[in-house]
Structure 1
C-alpha cells in the first residue's frame, strides 16, 4: 500500500465511555417514551378489562407463589404503602420545570400547572379515607358473641369480614393515569426545545459580536435556558418511567394475590372515573376555574 492510499483511509471512529453512556441515555429515553406515551383513553379501558379478567382467572386458578404474594415484601412496604408520595415527588418537579421554562420563567403559570396534583391529592385522600370507613362499617365480626364493633373484633380474637375495596388497585391505577396525562407535556417539551435551539442558533450566528448576557437577544437567552434545564427534565422523565414500571408490577401482584374480584374492579372503576371527571371533563370545560390540561401550556406558548 502506497502513501497516497494510506492518506485516503478515513480515520476509525473510536467509541469512548462517553459514547456508550450517551447511547444508553438515548435508548433509555426512547424506552421511557414508549412506556409513557401510550394512548391514555385506551390505557384506562385496558386497566378495567385487565383487572377484571385477571381477577376472575385468579378466582379459578391459584397463581404460583412469588415474593409479591407477601404483603410484607419491600416493594409493597416501601413502595406502594407510600406510593402517592413517590408519585407526586417525581411529578411536581417535572411539571414545574417544564412549565417554568416554556412560560418564560413565569412562576404563577408553573404553580397553576402543579395545582392539578393538589386536586389529585384531595381525590386520593377522599377515596382512601372512604374505603377505610366502608370496610369498618359494612362488615361483620366472625366471633361467637354478636354485634362486636370493628375496634374490638381483633382484640377479642375475631376476624372482621367487611367490604375491603382495594386501596392498592385504586392508588396504582390512579397514579398510572395521572402519570400518563402529565407526561404528555414531554412531547411538547422536545418540540419546544428543538424550536428554541433553531431560533437561538440562527440569532447567535448573526450576533457573534455580542458577548454581554444583558444585551443578548431573547432567543439566545431562551436557548441557554432550554439547554441548562433539558438534562434535568430528561432524567426526571426517566425516573417517572421507572416508577410507572414498578406500579405495573405491583398492579399485577395485587391482581394475583389480594382481594376479591369485586373489590379490585370497584376500586379500578373509581380510579378511572376520578381521572375521567377531572382530566376529561372538569379541566377541559372549566378553563377559568381549573388548572386546565397539560396541553394548554403548549397552546399558550407556541
Structure 2
C-alpha cells in the first residue's frame, strides 16, 4: 500500500517532470532546426498551454467531485454527515467523502505521454555532429524523455488496475485525449498558435498532398 501511495504522489507531479524535460529539449531541437529565437519562444509556449490544460483539468475534476459528493461516517457509505459540505472539512473530521472522482491520473498521464511523443517526432529532422556537445545534449534528453514515457505508460496501467472505477478512468482518459487532439490535432495547425514541431519542406509538401 505504501508503494502505491508513493507512485500516486509521483504521478501527481507528472506535469512537472514532463515540463522540466521538454523545456530544454524543445529549446535545443527547435533552435538547431530553425535558428530563430522567436520561433523557439513561440514553440515553448506549448508548455504554457500544457500547464493551463493541467490546471484547468484538475480544477474541473475537483469541482465535479465536490458538487456530486457527500460526507459519510464510514468507507461503506453509511451515515451521511450533512454538516460537512466540503471534502477538506469532511476528511478533517474523520469522515469519508464520496463523489464522482474523475481520474486525474488517467487524464494527466494520457496528455503527458502524447505530448512527449508529438515533440519527440522532431528527432527525425535533427542532424548533428556526433562530436558536438549539442548531439550529446539532445541524445541525453531524448533518452530521458523515452524513459519518462515508459514510466507514464506503466503508471497508466497501474492506475487502470488499482485506482478509481471504470467510468472515472474512462472520463479521465477521454479528457487527456481531448487535450492532446484539441492542441496538436486542431489548434496547432493554425497560424495563430504555438505551431507544431518544425519539419522539413519535403514532409510539409507530402502532408499537403495528403490533405488534397
Using the size of structure 2 for normalisation, the TM-score is 0.84
RMSD of aligned alpha carbons: 2.2
> What stretches of structure 1 of length at least 5 have no aligned partner?
1-66, 194-222
Distance 1:271 1:165 in 2: 11
Q: Contact 1:176–1:247 at 8 Å: present in 2 too?
A: yes
Larger Rg: 1
Give the secondary-structure state (helix, strand or coil) at the position aligned to 1:293: coil
User: Offset at 1:297?
Assistant: 4.6
Using the size of structure 1 for normalisation, the TM-score is 0.60
User: Offset at 1:152?
Assistant: 2.9
Matched with 1:72 is 5
2:47 corresponds to which of 106, 110, 117: 117
Matched with 1:175 is 112
Matched with 1:215 is none
Aligned length: 196
Matched with 1:291 is 194
Distance 1:237 1:144 in 2: 51
Give the secondary-structure state (helix, strand or coil) at the position aligned to 1:234: helix
Give the secondary-structure state (helix, strand or coil) at the position aligned to 1:72: helix
Q: Contact 2:91–2:97 at 8 Å: present in 1 too?
A: yes
Alignment of 1:1-302 (within 5 A): 70-73=3-6, 75-77=7-9, 79-104=10-35, 106-142=36-72, 143-146=79-82, 148-150=84-86, 151-189=88-126, 192-193=127-128, 227-284=132-189, 286-287=190-191, 289-294=192-197, 296-299=198-201
Larger RCO: Structure 1 or Structure 2 (Cα < 8 Å, ≥ 6 residues apart)? 1
Give the secondary-structure state (helix, strand or coil) at the position aligned to 2:4: coil
Distance 1:146 1:229 in 2: 61
> What stretches of structure 2 of length at least 5 have no aligned partner?
73-78, 205-212
User: Offset at 1:122?
Assistant: 0.7
- Counterparts in 2 of 1:156 and 1:231: CA distance versus 1, 3 Å: closer
Distance 2:94 2:194 in 1: 50
C-alpha deviations, 1:235-290, integer Å up to 9, x for none? 11000011111111111111111101010000000110111111111111x21x10
- When structure 1 is superposed on structure 2, of 176-185 and 117-126 the one drifting more is 117-126
